[in-house]
Amino acid sequence: MKTTMKTTMIACTVLALMAAVVYVLAGTNVISIPTLGAEEAPVAIFYIAAGCYLVGGLLVLWRRRWLWTVGLAANTWVISIFFLAYHQKPEMMVSAPGLVTKIAQVLLEAGLIYLVAAGRSRTQPAHQTQLSGSS
């Protein structure tokens, strides 16, 4: 079980870093986004998103369940905003940056759900530990 959690944490970090790299590439126009003008998405948004995924991906390694929960909520929010904003723009949904970031974010979401759930089952309240040790 410990190995699975460690592997999942590393995978989540890699996925977050992958999303960060794609956001930087989109912000620098190395990867173009069709039909997205500067007025719709200022360049600063790409760098802010990249910074958040970079920091968030590294925070996954701290092994704090509350950080995983905050990351899970934040990532859910980002995915939701994307789909609400672009659900009627298929060219945006299937663009390289759209697909790569969302695939990475959805897999990251699954990993964070696993970490939060597995982290809960591994921790026992102190009184349960004492009771099981006294029998």
Residue 73: CB atoms within 10 A of its CB come to 11
Indicate if the pLDDT at residue 134 is higher than 60: no
Residue 129 — pLDDT band, cuts 50, 70, 90? Answer: very low
Ordered alpha helix ranges (H), the chain: 2-27, 43-59, 65-86, 90-93, 96-122, 126-133
Q: What is the pLDDT at residue 116?
A: 96
Q: What is the pLDDT at residue 127?
A: 46
Q: What is the pLDDT at residue 94?
A: 87
* pLDDT single digits (tens) 40-50: 668 898 999 99
User: With pLDDT > 70 as the criterion, what percentage of the chain qualifies?
Assistant: 83
* pLDDT single digits (tens) 77-114: 999 998 998 888 888 888 888 899 999 999 999 999 99
C-alpha 114/C-alpha 5 separation (Å) is 8
**Between 122 and 124, the higher pLDDT residue:** 122
C-alpha 25/C-alpha 27 separation (Å) is 5
Cα 83 off chain centre by: 15
- What pTM value is reported for the model? 0.82
**Between 90 and 25, the higher pLDDT residue:** 25
- Inter-CA distances, 121 with 1, 28, 130, Å: 11, 43, 17
C-alpha 20/C-alpha 75 separation (Å) is 13
